[in-house]
Amino acid sequence: MPQQLSPIRTSTLHTIGRTPIVKLRRVVPANSADVLVKLEYFNPTGSYKDRMALAMIEEAEMRGDLRPGMTVLEYTGGSTGSSLAFVCAVKGYPFKVVSSDAFAQEKLNTMRAFGAELEIIPSRGGQITADLIPSLIARAKELAQEENIYFTDQFHNRDSLKGYAKIGLELLLQVPDGIDAFCGGVGTAGMLMGVSEALHDGGSQSRVIAFEPATSAVISTGTPGSHHVEGIGVGFRPPLLDADLYDEVRAIDEGQGRKMARRLAREEGIFAGTSTGVNVIGAIQLAQELGPGHTVVTVASDSGLKYLTGELYGG
Ligand SMILES: Cc1ncc(COP(=O)(O)O)c(C=O)c1O
C-alpha cells in the first residue's frame, strides 16, 4: 500500500504533533513487557515542548490576554524557550528569555536563531543547583512587571496541559490494544499530567509513573540536590503535579540514563537526550516487573542534536 504523504501545510505550526511511535527491539531484556517510545523529537524544534508552546500562545490569544504588539516572556532551560521562540517567530511576537549557562549552548543558540532576546543568569560550574531555577523565576517575575508583556510562566500555566493532551490522544489511536503503564520524567510535570488526563478521559486504565533524578529526588524524598539532566528535577515540587493524576514516583540514576541514551542511539537508532535515557531506564524497570503480554509507553522527549557539544555525546 502506498504511504500517504502529508499535504502542503499553510504554516510550520501545523507540523507540530502526530509523531511516530516505535517498539524497542534490543535494549529491553527478555521476559519483559513491550516498551514503546513515542518519538517526540520529530516535532519541528526537536522536542515535545513545541506542543506546549503552541498551546500556551494560542490559548492566551483566544482569551485576549496576548495581543499583537505584546512581548512574550519566559524563564527556561532552553527547550521551552526554543519552542516558544519558534512559535513567536511564526506569529510575529518579540520573545524575551531568562536562561542560564547551565543549559546546552545549542538550546541557547537555537533561541537566538529564532530571534529571541536572551538574559543569561550565570550558574555554579554549569550545574543545575537547587537555587538555579528559583533565581531564573525571580528575574522573570521582575521583568513581567514591565509594560506590554505576556509572561507564559510555564510552571503555573495550565494551558500547557492542553498541548500535551494531544500526545495522549495520539497514543489512544496508536496503541489500540491498551497501555498498562505510561511513564516519564517530570520537570514542570505538564507532559505527564496532560497525557495522564487524556489517557484516563479516553478510558485507558494505564498506571502513570513519574521519574526524577536520584540525586534530586524532591518529589519522593523532599530533598533537592544537584544533577545534570536537562528538563527534569527542577529542585521543587512542580505546582502542576497533581496527586490524582499519577500513581507512583521513582528516582532514576542519571548515569544509567546517560548510558541508556548512548545505547539508544547505537542499538535502536533513537538519537535523544539524557531525560529520554532516564525515561527508558524507568520504562524497562516497569517492563521487567509487568512481564510479557503487557505494554509500557514512554516518550523520547527531545533530540540528541541538542547535546552534541556536552558530556552526553561531545565527550
Ligand atoms: C528534555 C526534557 N525532558 C523532559 C522535560 C520535562 O517535561 P515537563 O516539563 O513537561 O515535565 C523537559 C522539560 O523542560 C525537557 O526539556
| Beta carbons within 8 Å of 254's beta carbon, 6+ residues apart | 213, 214, 215, 227, 228, 229, 274, 278
**What's the pLDDT score for residue 234?**
85
Residue pair 113/129 in contact by the 8 Å Cβ criterion: no
Q: Ligand 1: distance of its center to the CA of 301 in Å?
A: 7
Q: Whose CA is nearest to atom 16 of ligand 1?
A: 231
- pLDDT digit of tens for each residue in the chain (315 aa)? 456 788 999 999 999 999 999 999 999 999 999 999 999 999 999 999 999 999 999 999 999 999 999 999 999 877 899 999 999 999 999 999 999 998 888 889 999 999 999 999 999 888 878 888 889 999 999 999 999 999 999 999 999 999 999 999 999 999 999 999 999 999 999 999 999 999 999 999 999 999 999 998 999 999 888 888 888 888 899 999 999 999 999 999 999 999 999 999 999 999 999 999 999 999 999 999 999 999 999 999 999 999 998 889 986
Please give the distance, rounded to the nearest whole angstrom, from the Cα atom of residue 31 to the centre of ligand 1: 30
The confidence score (pLDDT) of residue 124 equals 87
Rounded CA gap, 9 and 117, in Å? Answer: 28
What residue type is assigned to position 183 of the chain? C
pLDDT at 315: 65
Write down the pLDDT at residue 263.
98
pLDDT at 77: 79
Nearest residue (by CA) to ligand 1, atom 14, is 231
- Dist. CA 115–CA 110, nearest whole Å: 9
For residue 78, the tally of other CB atoms under 10 A from its CB is 28
Residue nearest to atom 5 of ligand 1 (CA): 231
CA 302–ligand 1 middle distance (angstroms): 9
Phi, psi of 225 (to 5 degrees): -160, -175
Query: Which residue type does 111 have?
Result: M
Amino acid at 80: T
User: Would the CB of 298 count as within 6 Å of ligand 1?
Assistant: no
d(CA 282, CA 297): 10
Distance 142 CA to ligand 1 centre (A): 24
Q: Which pTM value belongs to this model?
A: 0.95
Q: In 281-294, which positions are buried (b, 16+ CB within 10 angstroms) versus exposed (e)? A: bbbbbbbbebeeeb
Domains delineated in the chain: 12-42+167-307 (3.40.50.1100), 49-156 (3.40.50.1100)
Provide the 3-class DSSP secondary structure of residue 116.
Answer: coil
Identify the burial level of 144 via C-beta atoms within 10 angstroms of its C-beta, where 0-12 means exposed, 13-18 middle and 19 or more buried.
Answer: middle
| Torsion angle defined by CA atoms of residues 84, 89, 91 and 96, in that order, rounded to the nearest 10 degrees | 50
Closest CA to 175 of 150, 195, 148: 195
What the block records as the C-alpha cell of 179 is: 497501555
Q: How far is CA 314 from CA 14, 104, 311, in A?
A: 33, 11, 5
Say how many Å lie between the first and final Cα of the chain, rounded: 43
Q: How many residues does the chain have?
A: 315
Rounded to 5 degrees, φ, ψ at 24 are -70, 140
H-helix or E-strand spanning residue 91: helix 79-91
Cα separation, 313 vs 311, whole angstroms: 6
- The ligand 1 atom at the shortest distance from the C-alpha of residue 274 is 1
Q: Is the CB–ligand 1 distance for residue 190 below 6 Å?
A: yes
